[in-house]
Amino acid sequence: MKILIVLTSHDTLGDTGKKTGFWLEELAAPYYAFLDAGAQLVLASPKGGQPPLDPKSDLPDFQTDTTRRFQADADALKALAQTVALDTVDAADFDAVFYPRGHGPLWDLAESPVSIAMIEAFDRAGKPLGPVCHAPGALRHVKAASGLPLVNGRKVTGFTNGEEDAVELTNIVPFLVEDMLKANGGLYEKGPDWAPYVVEDGDLVTGQNPASSDAVAHALLKRLAARA
């Protein structure tokens, strides 16, 4: 079982002068869910190398047992510092792909032809795909084999407009995940803000927010186990 984890390389929060990137807990929790299940992991990003960490996700209030485990894990830190460039990755080598959040994906992964082609390759091969929180933004321009948006007519979730408003970034982000998914024909669902909420539609598994990352990872593992 080999799983690809795709992280953002984007570190600038619009024109605010503030930094963004990936959210630590949304990498750490799935990373260990996969690793502890015996999966082989490869971390990738558009630029390769060390992806930017959203500095807010490193604050004490957002630390968990898994973030502390990750930060004390030399092998995990080495893998993070040496992510492979996404354009060197072949989807055929993997059984599933996971996209953790952070606001960064809204700028780079959403517009990346390489990421778009990667997701389409996983979809065509019928392999599980798991974007969480803002990472469903990476589906913005992804097409199904029919030529329609990948999310068209499919049940999906992602960071809600209310959650974006709560973090006061509604007017900063390039687009709102909830609005984009609906505009692309997605059958958008959501739970209470900040509570875990996961939606599965075929091999597309989406999570609403940071609290949903671990559950998405386990949903992907369940799908993989059913095929073993």
**Segment 124-153, tens digit of pLDDT:** 999 999 999 999 999 999 999 999 999 999
| Residue 192 confidence (pLDDT) | 97
Please state the pTM of the whole predicted model. 0.96
Q: Could you read off the pLDDT of 60-92 as tens digits, one per residue?
A: 999 999 999 999 999 999 999 999 999 999 999
Reported as a single tens digit per residue, the pLDDT across 11-42 is 999 989 999 999 999 999 999 999 999 999 99
Whether 57 shows a pLDDT value over 80: the answer reads yes
Q: What is the reported pLDDT for 227?
A: 84
Find out whether 111 and 90 touch, Cβ atoms under 8 Å: no
CATH code at 141?
3.40.50.880
Distance spanning both ends of the chain, measured CA to CA: 9
Closest CA to 156 of 103, 95, 203: 203
Residue with tokens 């990003």: 45
| Band of pLDDT at residue 197, cut at 50, 70 and 90 | very high
The pLDDT value given to residue 174: 96
**Whole-number pLDDT of residue 228:** 74
Domain count of the fold of the chain: 1
Q: What is the mean pLDDT of residues 107-116?
A: 98
Mean pLDDT of the chain: 96
Structural domain containing residue 148: 2-227
Count of beta carbons in the 10 Å neighbourhood of residue 227: 11
177-197 mean pLDDT: 98
d(CA 78, CA 163): 32
